[in-house]
Amino acid sequence: MTSFLQYLLHTFENTGIQLLILVVPLLILAFAMNFVSLITQRWAVGLLGYRAWLIIFKAVGTPIHELGHAIFCILFGHRIEKISLFNPAPDGTLGYVEHCYNRRNIYHQVGKFFIGMGPVIFGCVVITLAALLLVGGQVFTPIQPFANGLSLAPFNLGSFLNLLGATLTTIFKGIFQPSNFHHWQFYIFLYFVFAIGNSITLSPSDLYSAGLGFLFFVLFLLVLNGVTGWMGDFLIKGTMGLNPILIQFEILMLVALFLNILVAIVILVLLLFKRLLQAVFSR
């Protein structure tokens, strides 16, 4: 009985570690980006007006959002029945992906988590590609040493924050170096950052679908660890092996988040200036 309880405890422990590596950073960054995007949308509409905001930014960002859903539908075997990349409707809907799946298929159920989070993941990938093409891949060279160093060294919060701060500072110095301000590609990049970042939002249906998928994902990991635990900790070792790759992607997500915060601050300053001018000339 004691051995069984120890085995069960070990299974839960391994599952917790896997979730901490595979899912928790993604969730934190996804909700942070969703929060920033929702606030920025409100400020951008106040600055430009709803119609101009749609045409200038959402016409680019919404297709990326919907493609994020669609790509993960395909990866997890969901059948896409209907897709609209950008078609503003009176109810506020800008696009949609209608899909169906086998409710008895655990892979399909787990996929709902990634389908719901798809716009965040794919949006960050596109922002990263835009940076590589328009600013240059050299700005991201500090990421790999950071990821490798973090995965090899024992975790220490102070060291982690110092190393993270130094890595992000180096990346942002590379992006905002004075020479970039003389190139039109840099301003196209900033446009894509805002247009795509402004659409990295999670609707109530996205959150509901992702929540159900997350529960199935946790259940799947528990069962898998429970069934294979007697063979050794090869699953947890495999997850640890993925950690450097995941850390690199999470850093890219963090860069995308901070870029959107910077753009949001600019939008807010312009909005306040607009309201100040309106107040002055309305007297």
pLDDT of residue 66: 93
pLDDT averaged per 10 residues in sequence order, the chain, 283 residues: 73 80 81 86 87 87 92 93 88 86 88 88 85 79 67 60 77 83 88 83 82 87 76 69 72 81 88 87 73
Q: What is the dihedral of CA 212, 256, 254, 175, to 10 degrees?
A: 170
pLDDT of residue 75: 93
Alpha helices in the chain (DSSP H): 2-22, 24-48, 50-53, 59-75, 106-134, 143-152, 157-175, 184-197, 204-228, 234-281
pLDDT of residue 81: 92
pTM of the model: 0.80
Query: How would you classify residue 98: left for phi > 0, otherwise alpha for psi between -120 and 50, otherwise beta?
Result: beta
Domain extents in the chain: 2-281
pLDDT of residue 158: 67
pLDDT of residue 252: 76
pLDDT of residue 74: 94
pLDDT of residue 147: 63
